[in-house]
Structure 1
Amino acid sequence: MKVKITVILVLLTFIVICTAFDNGFKGINYGVVADSVRFAVPANFPKPVYDFKDNPVTGNGFKLGRILFYDPLLSKDKSISCANCHQSFAAFANLDHAVSHGVDECLGTRNAPPLFNLAWQKEFMWDGGVHHIEVSPMNAMTNPCEMATDLNTIVSRLQETKAYSALFKAAFGTAEINSQRVFRAMAQFTSMLVSANSKYDKYIRHEAGGTFTSDETAGYALFKTHCSTCHQEPLFTDLTYRSNGLDLRSEDIGRDSITHLETDRGKFRVPSLRNVELTSPYMHDGRFDDLKQVLEHYNSGVKNTANLDPDLHKAGILGIRLNMKEQSQLIAFLKTLTDTAFANDKRFQTPQ
């Protein structure tokens, strides 16, 4: 009797799994209404790098990209989606892990970077190993310690899932599903992740809600004196690769993995400071839990590496020496870069 019950339960489980695979996964609304979307360049931003000519953002294309971003069907064991490591409330960073957390509980070696203002980037990842927004998801999809799958498997699964035929037809005119369309739909979603509505932006654009406190004003002055060379406004990164003296010899070779130059060992892309209040932990390996630890590194922890960035070694002084009051003021300014409207935008959250 027990054997018969066990067999029945196994069969029922199998039927449930097959039904879910055929129609989509629970928790995602494949019929969510398409948002009215349009890519617009903020008034205080430069022209984007990404050329939308061949992949203009449409409501249905954005909807498809959003669903793909949240669908665990894209991973090896159908357990995780892009959103597992890129959480909307954390400005699409990973709040609960220092490094990427993939299938089979595998932990990677680098912190999952936040995703916003990607249309202004010409290179992606900490080492710049990807050169186009449309193919940037491939790194996570194929990484054996992240989603651990391949494009053929992904396309095959999407073709076998009823909901996607109509979604691709609405987005691209025909029901054909291929890897290029997968990437272009996802690019329509990720290119729309524009963060440009922080208190700082309102201050710069002289809008309501943009008045700085005395500490924020003092922190902005400190930022311009000590940080703005690498973290250039308005993106708050110059998109270069630099060593900030984390280790005398970095275990992670960083940019060297792309250029194969010893002088690039331990260099990583300068991250944007936008939404930095939301995107902890910090650095390429997530070693610092909060902004105070980050500033203390620059104050007293910078290592004099052979390729240390020159701006961190001036007049015989390593790092950026700030007293406690100055550090507090700088943090007050950095918090003006938090874009709560972006982090709370329903269009970017799980399609339900």
Structure 2
Amino acid sequence: MKLILGILFFLCLCSCSSEREEQYKPIPVTIELPTTFQSLLPPPVIPQENPLTQEGITLGRKLFFDPILSRDNTLACADCHSPQNAFSDSKRFSDGLDEEKGIRNSMPLMNLAWNISNRFNWDGSAVTLEEQIFEPVTNPIEMDHTWEAVENELNADDEYPQLFEQAFAINRIDSTAVSKAIAQFIRTLVSGDSRFDQYLREEVELTPQELSGLEIFMNEEKGDCFHCHGNPNNPLWTDNQFHNNGLDEAFDDLGLGGITGDPSQFGLFKSPSLRNLAYTAPYMHDGRFETLEEVIDHYSEGLQFSETIDPLMKSIAQGGVQLTPQQKEDLKAFLLSLTDEGFVSNPSYQNPN
């Protein structure tokens, strides 16, 4: 009898082991890197606790475009981060459900897997991309929901429970899994095929005006733009750091300093990428500039002094770098060469619902 029981126990263990082995395993995915990224950037930063998978990315994309995350099921992440606007917002203030209280324009979402500062948002209020995704759901001027209600709605849905089980091997959906899925999708939003990228790959030639604009951009005595926004050896076109770029003498919005409480960081905001400026108007953290011409005018003759102004704003005493009208046009032409038309039309980044 003992022998028979032992055999049955062994067979049971084998059966359980077989079932575990047959459990669905998500398919690993690696980000397809543009040629210039391969040669000029370190590998993308993918958290060990949230590896990219086909199922996770597909789920994150579905959630990104689904208004189920908002209180009244009318607002999705994509409403403030629209693909046709390079995942930014064409409105000055991204107001969410409350259209009266927004104070910032949504940052564009691209190439965030290379965020070397480990801080996200204009003010650095999130340390990880997963953490950044938590806040808008409960923010009263964004999605104005509760995570408990979101979890209940997702668990009662006809599709989501199976999708989460396949992506994360969980039986009940929670906020952590939601943030992981959306973060996976966002990390795949890679922009690296602008005319300037093609120029670096020796596939096209830049126009004389674009080349003149590049020289102005890189010249400390002219545009002096490269310190905060990179150079041809940095295809992100941002340093991912925080600066006071001379917008105001005093601050209603404290930026990074409002998060850290450090007065020396009042008025500091994250440098956005200069990629896809043709799609991301209006500009600056508060969307105050509607055109690239206004942005260039600001740095040329509109700088405002404040106690925390960045030392890189070396021409503050003159109000700016004092570009000529022709230099302004040339600089604009170069900036527009960083436009990646394929990024905003990439079918992998569009609404799947």
User: Do they superpose with TM above 0.5?
Assistant: yes
Specify which of 181, 190, 200 is matched with residue 177 of structure 2.
Answer: 181
1:130 maps to 2:142: no
Identity of aligned residues (%): 38
* Residues 35 and 347 in structure 1, CA contact (< 8 A), matched pair in contact too: no
CA distance in 2, matches of 1:205, 1:35: 32
Displacement after TM superposition at 1:187 (Å): 1.2
Give unpaired runs (5+ residues) of structure 1: 1-33
CA distance in 2, matches of 1:148, 1:199: 40
CA distance in 1, matches of 2:272, 2:335: 13
Q: TM-score, normalised by structure 2?
A: 0.85
Residue 54 (structure 2) aligns with: 59
- The alignment partner of 2:143 has SS state of coil
Displacement after TM superposition at 1:48 (Å): 4.4
1:176-325 alignment, distance < 5 Å: 176-206=172-202, 208=203, 210-225=204-219, 226-232=224-230, 233-314=234-315, 316-325=317-326
Residue 140 (structure 2) aligns with: 144
Q: TM-score, normalised by structure 1?
A: 0.85
Residue type at the aligned position of 2:97:
V
* Residues 218 and 225 in structure 2, CA contact (< 8 A), matched pair in contact too: yes
Residue type at the aligned position of 1:326:
Q
* Residues 126 and 254 in structure 1, CA contact (< 8 A), matched pair in contact too: yes
Residue type at the aligned position of 1:252:
D
Displacement after TM superposition at 1:36 (Å): 10
CA distance in 1, matches of 2:213, 2:127: 34
Deviating beyond 4 angstroms after TM superposition, the runs of 4 or more aligned structure 1 residues are 34-37
Deviations 1:162-218 (A, max 9, x none): 111121122223443122211111111000001111111111222x2x310110111
Residue type at the aligned position of 1:76:
R
Deviations 1:18-43 (A, max 9, x none): xxxxxxxxxxxxxxxx9996413333
* Residues 72 and 78 in structure 1, CA contact (< 8 A), matched pair in contact too: yes
Specify which of 31, 42, 55 is matched with residue 34 of structure 2.
Answer: 42
- How well do the aligned residues superpose, as a CA RMSD in angstroms? 1.9
* Residues 304 and 316 in structure 2, CA contact (< 8 A), matched pair in contact too: no
CA distance in 2, matches of 1:152, 1:315: 50
Displacement after TM superposition at 1:49 (Å): 5.4
Residue 78 (structure 1) aligns with: 73
Give unpaired runs (5+ residues) of structure 2: 1-25
Residue 111 (structure 2) aligns with: 117
CA distance in 1, matches of 2:253, 2:216: 31
* Residues 219 and 326 in structure 1, CA contact (< 8 A), matched pair in contact too: yes
1:35–1:79 Cα change, 3 Å: farther
CA distance in 1, matches of 2:87, 2:317: 38
Displacement after TM superposition at 1:44 (Å): 2.5
- The alignment partner of 1:136 has SS state of helix
1:35–1:66 Cα change, 3 Å: farther
- The alignment partner of 1:94 has SS state of coil
- The alignment partner of 2:245 has SS state of coil
- The alignment partner of 2:36 has SS state of coil
CA distance in 2, matches of 1:174, 1:154: 16
CA distance in 1, matches of 2:260, 2:44: 22
Aligned length in residues: 316
- The alignment partner of 2:228 has SS state of coil
Q: Give 1 or 2 for the bigger CA radius of gyration.
A: 2
CA distance in 1, matches of 2:278, 2:214: 15
1:87 maps to 2:82: yes
CA distance in 2, matches of 1:281, 1:314: 25
